[in-house]
Structure 1
Amino acid sequence: MSAFIQGYTLGLAYVMPIGTQNIFVINTALTQRRSRIWLTTFCVFFCDIVCALACFYGVGGIMQSSRWLQLAVLGAGSLVVMWIGFSIFRDKSTLEGDEGKSELSAAKVFTTACFVTWANPQAWIDGSMMLGAFRTSLNGADGARFIIAVCLASLSWWVVMPTVVSLLQSRINNKVFRAINIICGAIIMAYGAKLLVSFVRLAAVMFG
Structure 2
Amino acid sequence: MFFIQGLIIGFSWSAPIGMQNIYMFNNAVSNPRWRALAANFFVWLADVLLSLTAFFGIGLIMAKYQLLKVLIMLLGGMLVIWIGFLIVRSAREVDLGTQAVSKPMTKLISGAFMVTWANPQAIIDGTMMLGASKAVLPNVMSEFYFMLGVAMASAIWNFSMTMLLSNARAKLSSRFMFRVNLISGLVILAYGIRLIIKGLLISLKMV
Q: TM-score, normalised by structure 1?
A: 0.89
Secondary structure of the structure 2 residue equivalent to 1:139:
coil
Shift, 1:52, TM fit: 0.8
Task: Find the aligned partners of 2:116 and 2:144 in 1 and give their Cα distance.
Answer: 23
C-alpha change, 1:96 and 1:30, in structure 2 (3 Å) is closer
Whether 1:121 and 2:120 are equivalent positions in the alignment is yes
Within 1, Cα distance between the matches of 2:47 and 2:100?
A: 27
Match of 2:182 in 1: 182
Matches within 5 A, 1:17-166: 17-90=16-89, 91-95=91-95, 97-98=97-98, 103-140=102-139, 141-166=141-166
- Shift of residue 115, structure 1, vs aligned partner: 2.3
Counterpart for residue 201 of structure 2: 201
Cα contact 2:96–2:173 (8 A) shared by 1: no
The 2-side partners of 1:122 and 1:64 are apart by 13
CA distance in 1, matches of 2:107, 2:74: 21
Residue segments in structure 2 that go unaligned for 5+ positions in a row: none
Seq. identity, %:
34
- Greater alpha carbon shift after TM alignment, 67-76 vs 12-21: 67-76
Contact in 1 for aligned 2:77/2:195 (Cα 8 Å):
yes
1:109-147 superposed Cα distances (whole Å, 9 cap, x missing partner): 233222221223332222122212222212222221111
CA positional deviation for 1:167: 0.8
SS of the residue corresponding to residue 92 of structure 2 reads coil
Q: Deviations over 1:142-176 (max 9, x none)?
A: 22111110011111111111111111111111211
Quote the offset at 1:26 in angstroms. 0.6
Distance 1:128 1:78 in 2: 18
Q: 2:133 is paired with a residue of what secondary structure? A: helix
Matched residue of 1:92: which SS?
A: helix
For 2:144 and 2:54, locate their aligned partners in 1 and report how far apart those are by CA, in whole Å. Answer: 14
| 8 A contact 1:45–1:155 mirrored in 2 | yes
Equivalent-residue separation in structure 2 for 1:17 and 1:75 (angstroms): 23
Going from structure 1 to structure 2, the CA distance change for 1:102 and 1:78 (only over 3 Å counts) comes to farther
Give per-residue Cα distances to partners, 1:24-66, cap 9 Å, x unaligned: 1111112123343123211111111111111111121112222
Matched to 1:95, the amino acid is: D
**Is this contact kept in 1: 2:30–2:96, CA < 8 A?**
no
Provide TM-score, normalisation by structure 2.
0.90
What letter is aligned with 2:84? Answer: G
* Matches of 1:64 and 1:108, distance apart in 2: 33
Q: Please state whether the residue corresponding to 2:93 is helix, strand or coil.
A: coil
Consecutive unaligned residues in structure 1, runs of 5 or more: none
